[in-house]
Amino acid sequence: MARRRAAVRTDSLSLASLRAAYSQPVSVVLSRAQMARVRRSAATIDRMIARGGAVYGVNTGFGLLAQTRIPTDQLSALQRNLVLSHSAGVGALLSDAVVRLVLVLKIGSLAQGFSGVRPQTLLALARLLETETYPCIPSKGSVGASGDLAPLAHLAAALLGVGEVRAAGRVLPAAEGLRRIGLQPLDLAPKEGLALLNGTQVSTALALAGLFAIQDVFGAALVTGALSVDALKGSDVPFDDRIHVLRRQPGQRRVARALKRLLAGSRIRASHLTCERVQDPYSLRCQPQVMGACLDVIESAGQTLAREANAVTDNPLVFASDDEVLSGGNFHAEPVALAADQLALAVAEIGSLSERRTALLIDPKMSGLPAFLVKESGVNSGFMVAQVTAAALVAENKTLAVPASVDSIPTSAGQEDHVSMATHGARRLLEMAANAASVVAIELLAAAQGIEFHRPLTSSRPLEAALKTLRRTVPPYDRDRFFAPDIAAATALVSSGQLAELVEI
């Protein structure tokens, strides 16, 4: 039986629908109105060619060669040559999940009817998506201006039967992949190669993938942060709403409320309400200020990426209703580059704060718990090197967080003299999110250990639920054992989004 796929509406792509497309196979819905606009756009290109006027990339060369006119009988060859020559990517292949997002974004952009492609070209892309036949796209080679030229050229090459595709985990020659799903290699019409290559879809897909991973890590870090507060017998007073109203930062107030809810009803907290400690370290006390700032940045970047996902970003653009073709620069991925840099900074800070709490938990002078969170420390080293691993990952993320958007190297003989560097700026986000997920996972293990040293006292209902979920796969650390599987299991839990679901924010 064929697997049912979620259907994604391409006329209005939401972050929720894009997350679904990233996490599972999907098909797309193309309305009659969209297909009518696509036909009108393609007809406009045909009329422009018949009139004999110069239209960039349709009957002229590209970049520095834009002044070169191309004879009518070579227009199809111009588009094919563009795809083949620009298929210059290198490096590891993008994952199926990212390529799936790229396809959804490219289909959504072309379906708006401003790109001059024919309906059959759009439907060929949709066929690749619905049959899970994913073009093999190298991850490196784009500077994020004039579109993601090299990676999108590899996508377009697959439609020509050139290059390779991946289907059910197998890499096949593109021509064979097309044959298996009932497609013939495309002969590109004027403008089609350029429309397929121009655009920010690869940068945007990579940034969206990073966003989704960072959102899951963020939610998990709120849970582990609350667990650490309880394990360290910290105070929930710093989360009092009256404090945060005065700061006037919305994310800060929302995080404080979320932490307050996570800790509500904790018997551990009730056991030390009258203790003499005046203030907790910043990594406990200032979670609303730090994580709230991260939340505001994450949501702002998400809004930018949602707009970009629904944008038309190739060039030139076809305005069929005005019978005009206008050349501009919507392919410049600066909005994506800046959003990716913001996300990189946020996820670096999430991990940094989490690691500091782990450092508190393993230090008996600060925590009042057994040294390195293990009984009989000395013969057992406990969480000593787990914290070192967290520190190493935090340090790595600091270097990865250096902004990419401030760099620019001119390309195409100086014609493309300012570029965004959005593509690798976005690509690093998944690595950074994975690093941060492991940092938060180590805190989860450490905080759980700390909570259990306070038995028979219990934490709050949501935090005990988080602990129970962890203990399904990772038992308490009673003596030294091979530690890596524990961290791997906890990291999988953090990355799954299950802990984030416990957070009301």
Q: Which residues are catalytic?
A: 56
3-state secondary structure 145-185: CCCCHHHHHHHHHHHCCCCEEEECCEEEEHHHHHHHCCCCC
CA distance 19 to 408: 30
Residue with tokens 């809004």: 303
Question: Cβ distance 134 to 99 under 8 Å?
Answer: yes
CA distance 52 to 50: 5
Count H helices, E strands: the chain?
20, 9
Pairing of strands 170-173, 138-140: unpaired
Question: Cβ distance 410 to 458 under 8 Å?
Answer: no
Q: Residue type for 275, please? A: C
CA distance 420 to 87: 20
DSSP alpha helices (H): ranges in 232-246?
A: 241-245
The values of phi and psi at residue 90, to 5°, are: -135, 175
Question: Cβ distance 11 to 31 under 8 Å?
Answer: yes
